[in-house]
Every structure is written in C-alpha cells, then in structure tokens.
Amino acid sequence: MTDNQENTDAEDASPSGSPTLPLRPPCDRLPCHKSSVCSRSYFVVVMVFFHVYIINVIALLFYVHYSSGQEDASSSSDAPTGGGQPQRSEARRPSPSKPDFVRDVSLTRIEGIRVGHVQKVSLVPGRVHEMKTLSLKPLLFEIPGFLSEDECRVVMQLAQLKGLMESQLMVQEGQEELAKELDLSPEEIFNLLDINQDGQLQLHEILTHSRVRDGIWLTPENLREIYDGLKADKDGDGLLSQEEFRLLSSDAFQRFLLERGVKRSQLVRNSRHTWLYQGKGAHRVLQEIKERVTRLTRLPAALVDLSEPLQVVRYEEGGHYHAHHDSGPTSCRYITVLFYLNSVDGGGETAFPVADNRTYDEVSLIQNDVDLMDTRRNCDKSNLRVKPTKGMAVFWYNYLSDGRGWVGEQDEYALHGGCVVTRGTKWVANKWINVDPDYQRQARYQQLVSQLPDDENDDDLPSNADVQNPSIHQDL
C-alpha cells in the first residue's frame, strides 16, 4: 500500500471508526455572497432616490428665493427714491386713478306676486298699512292712507309759501339760433325722423319729434293744419316725401306756431310746481315723509337722502301731463313715489297706457288717429288709471333689475301721464329716488359725500340726479 492510499483511508475513517460525511462542495457557500450583493444594490437605489429628492428641494428653494428677489426689486423700483422721485418702471405700470369698489350694496326690489295681491307694510309706529299690487309691468303699488290729512295740508301750504312756477314755458323765440347749431342736412334729418325707413314721414313720426324737441303736444289734426298752412303736403296724402320735406326750412313748424300762437292746452305739461327741501333743518313733516319713503322702498337711507327734493305740483282745471317716462338718459329716477294731496272733483287720474301689455311698441301708440299718449283725449283708453284720493301714495319702478341687485334697463311699460282735470284742482307730490346705473360712479359719489364735514351746508350739496345731469331738477 502506498502512502497515498494510506492517506485516503485515514481521511475516510472517523476517529470513532465510523465513516466520515463527505465535505460540502465550494458552491454551497455562494448564497451568503448573493445576499450581500442584493443588500448593496438596494442601498444604492435608495441613496439615488434620496439625492434626487434633495436636489429637487434645493432647486425649489432657489426658485422661490429668485422669484421673491424679483418682486422686491420691482417694488423698490416703483417706490420713490431718496429725492422723492419715482423710478421709470412707474411709467410702465401706472396705478389706477379710481379704485374699484366691491359690490356690497344691492337694491331691494319688492315682489308684486300678482295683480291685486295685498301685503302688509309697517311704515309708522303702531300702524300697519296695506300695499296693493296694481300691475306687474311696470311693477306698481298703491298704499292708501300713506299721508295723513294734516300732512297733506302742511305740504300744500309749504309749497304755496315758497311759490310755484310754471312747469313748462310757452314756445319761445330764438329758433333761428337753434337751426344754425343743427349741423345736419335735410336728407340726414329726414332719415332720422323716418322711424320705419319707408321713405315717407308719417304723422306719428313728426309728432314724436315735435313733442320731444319743442314740448308742444300736436294732434294729427294740428299737424294737418300746419301742412295746409305751409303747403307742405302737395299731394294731400298726409305723408311727407323726402322731396316735400326738403322744401321746408328746419324751423318752419316753429315759425308757423309762433305766428298762430300756442294755447296752454297744447303744451306737453300744463301745471305749476315747486321743490321742497327734506334734509337737515327742513320741516318735520317733510323729513318724516322722506323716512317713510325709505321704509317703504327698503332702499339704503343714503340713496334716498342724496336724491331729488320733494316736488309739489298743482293742476288747475284743464291741467294735464301727457304720457311720458319719468327717467331719461341724463337722469336716472329709479323709483317714483307719487302722493295725492287732495281728492279731485273731476278727472286728474294717473294713467298708464300700456300697463301689463304683452308687448311694447312706440310706433303702435299712435294708430288711426288714436294717440294713447294724449291724456286730454284718450285717457279712457289707457290700460290702467288711478283715481286721486287724498293721502294715498302710488309707487313704481322705472327700471328693471340687472340680475345682480342693481339698475338694469329702463322699463318702457312705466309710461304714464296725468289725465286732464275736468273739475276742481289737483295737488300731487313726487319723490324720485335717484340711483346711478354705474355702481362704481354711485359708490364714488357716496364716498365723496361721506368725507364732507358734518356741519356742511346741505343746500350746497348737489343731489345724485344733479351729478348725472347738469340741468338741476329737470322735469321729464
């Protein structure tokens, strides 16, 4: 036996003489090495994500810091320098001259519900008034007993004490100067008057223009007389062609009326009126009426305070006011409150020709020589008439809502007039609440007023209507 064989036998025998187990191959130790490799890979991936996260955070901090630095630089460039002069960037980004006001005030609008609906209102302590809906177009209400008999008497006496003036003057001379200022050709004037653009001027198209410009209420019969006197309608069809119109001078109608003379009954309005101040220092009755109006309309007191004074009007027998709108493009009378200071013996109703009509068409107001706006002839054809009763008040909205709690479009159905007084005298008072359709302008005006000293004389303060219209207390 060789030495190699002895060694092999020795290795195969255990000390106890039993055979020994075979040795593990070297590959059995590899799992330990694989586990270490996996742990290191996982650590590397985690560290990569961590560094990416840190880098993103640092980048975000740099971005915020850089943006803040730009804003600071911009602010410092806009700020005055040590010498008090602004930097050039101010010219590139001018600040607004008029700040915008947040809409924190809305105009409360009373619901009419339906015609004939009656709701209770509390206007004076210890008494409840009834307010009845008269129409929905316009939104119109009546309140019996709004004024007491004593209050009606005091208002009429105060108006007489101050003195009443003619509500409308007769036709005045000086039409030549107006004609010179009218820089329009006859063709341009014709096209403006031709409402339906049919190439002919109908009677109602001429009448509408004459009433607005001259304040003269011509009837179709009056107009035919003028046509005959001026020999304007050559073919006698009651229509003016462009050729016939061109032969007339721009003041031909006015000249004819001056030569013939104009009666008071031919004026748009035949009455006398005055204005009564309702602010601080005014008669107690006048101030209480203003406060009652504020509670009735549920509008902010500042709007009522800054509105026009109380207008008192007297109509003698034969007095009238043809149908009109209280508000116009230069003066926004959002609400009209009309008070009857006496009961009229005959006539004098307040007429609403197109109240609750399905549609409104200005041209259709004059059809077949029936003029719905003529309150001397056709008051009985109006859709709604309110009989004057002492102490009663009626009020209506002259404008719709804009849907956001402010003034919207004018309500054409608010057309109204005073029927001719056939017997006795008629006394009324008007309280108009003026609201500027431009909310920002209204807010600026109220802010201006609020900054005035408390002892400022209210007589020197223009009303809200005066700010919109340079013609103070325009009678519309």
The CATH number of whichever domain residue 235 belongs to comes to 1.10.238.10
Containing 301, the helix (H) or strand (E) segment is helix 301-305
CA atoms within 13 A on the CB side of 392: 18
Question: What's the pLDDT score for residue 69?
Answer: 52
Q: How confident is the model at residue 79 (pLDDT cuts 50, 70, 90)?
A: very low
Residue 442, in any domain of the structure: yes
Most confidently modeled of 20-34, 45-59, 363-377, 401-415? 401-415
Task: Give the span between the Cα atoms of 77 and 24, in whole angstroms.
Answer: 83
Distance CA(219)–CA(237), nearest Å, equals 17
Residue 310 pairs in a beta bridge with 276
% of the chain exceeding 90 in pLDDT: 46
Last residue of a domain, one of 237, 266, 295: 266
293 with 422, same domain: the answer is: yes
Q: CB under 8 Å to 323, separation ≥6 — which residues?
A: 351, 353, 365, 372, 373, 374, 375, 415, 416, 417
Task: Give the relative orientation of helices 203-214 and 252-260 as an angle to the nearest 10 degrees.
Answer: 70
Residue 386 predicted with pLDDT over 80: yes
Which pLDDT score is estimated for 15?
Answer: 44
| 349 in the same domain as 208 | no
Closest CA to 118 of 130, 135, 134, 136: 130
Note whether residue 102 is domain-resident. no
The pTM of the full predicted model, rounded to 2 decimals, is 0.68
pLDDT band at 17 (very low <50, low <70, confident <90, very high): very low
For residues 280 and 259, membership in a common domain is answered with no
Q: Which of 21 and 280 is assigned the larger pLDDT?
A: 280
- CATH number of the domain where residue 430 is located: 2.60.120.620
User: Which domain, by its residues, includes 434?
Assistant: 117-168+268-451
Q: Which of 244, 266, 288 is the last residue of a domain?
A: 266
How many angstroms separate the CA atoms of 420 and 271, rounded? Answer: 11
Name the average pLDDT for the chain: 79
Interacting residues of 390 by C-beta distance below 8 A, sequence separation 6+:
149, 152, 340, 341, 342, 343
Confidence bin at 4 (pLDDT 50/70/90): very low
- Determine phi and psi for 296, rounding to 5 degrees: -65, -50
Q: Residue 43 falls within a domain, yes or no?
A: no
Domain co-membership, 222 together with 297: no
pLDDT confidence bin for 66, thresholds 50/70/90: low
Residue 161: per-residue pLDDT: 96
Highest mean pLDDT among 86-95, 435-444, 467-476: 435-444
User: Are residue 155 and residue 200 in the same domain, yes or no?
Assistant: no
The whole-number pLDDT of residue 116 equals 98
Q: Are residues 134 and 273 in the same domain?
A: yes
H or E element that contains 124: strand 118-124
Do 140 and 247 share a structural domain?
no
For the chain, the 3-state helix, strand and coil shares in percent, each to the nearest 5, are: 40, 20, 40
pLDDT, tens only, 191-214 = 877 878 888 888 777 776 665 555
Task: Indicate if the pLDDT at residue 78 is higher than 70.
Answer: no
Listed in order, strand segments (DSSP E) in 187-287 are: 200-201, 240-241, 269-270, 272-276
- Looking at the structure, tell me whether residues 287 and 381 fall in a common domain: yes
- Measured between alpha carbons, how far is 89 from 76 in angstroms, rounded to an integer? 10
Q: What percent of the chain has pLDDT over 70?
A: 69
At 280, phi and psi to the nearest 5?
-60, 135
Residue 101 has pLDDT above 90, yes or no: no
Whether pLDDT at 157 is above 70: yes
| Neighbouring residues of 160: CB distance < 8 A, sequence distance ≥ 6 | none
Say if 129 falls within a structural domain.
Answer: yes
CA gap 461, 463 in Å, rounded: 6
Q: What is the pLDDT of residue 223?
A: 75
Domain tally, the chain = 2
User: What DSSP element (H or E) covers 129?
Assistant: strand 127-136
**Is residue 456 in a domain?**
no
Please identify, among 232, 266, 300, the residue that sits at the C-terminal boundary of a domain: 266
According to DSSP, the β-strands at 240-241 and 416-418 are: unpaired
Position with higher pLDDT, 332 vs 72: 332
The residue that leads in pLDDT, 354 or 227, is 354
Averaged over 223-231, what is the pLDDT? 78
pLDDT at 61: 75
How far apart are alpha carbons 201 and 244 in whole angstroms? 10
pLDDT computed for residue 468 by the predictor: 47
Check whether residue 227 and residue 241 sit in a common domain.
Answer: yes
Structure confidence by residue, pLDDT tens digits, 453-464: 865 545 445 556
More confident residue, 474 or 284: 284
Contact 219, 230 (CB under 8 A): no
> For the residues 258-262, what does the mean pLDDT come to?
61
Residue 31 lies in a domain: no
Confidence of residue 228 (pLDDT cuts 50, 70, 90): confident
Rounded CA gap, 213 and 196, in Å?
20
Amino acid letter, residue 29: R
73: exposed, middle or buried (Cβ count in 10 Å: 0-12, 13-18, 19+): exposed
- Residue 412 located in a structural domain: yes
Does residue 6 belong to any structural domain of this protein?
A: no
- The confidence score (pLDDT) of residue 212 equals 52
Q: Are 234 and 244 in contact (CB under 8 A)?
A: yes
Q: Are residues 402 and 274 in the same domain?
A: yes
Q: Are residues 246 and 292 located together in one domain of the fold? A: no
**380 and 305 in a common domain:** yes
Highest mean pLDDT among 99-103, 231-235, 254-258: 231-235
DSSP-derived secondary structure letter, 298: T
Confidence band, pLDDT 50/70/90 cuts, at residue 52 = confident
Q: Does residue 31 have a cis bond before it (omega within 30 degrees)?
A: no
Alpha carbon distance, N-terminus to C-terminus of the chain: 146
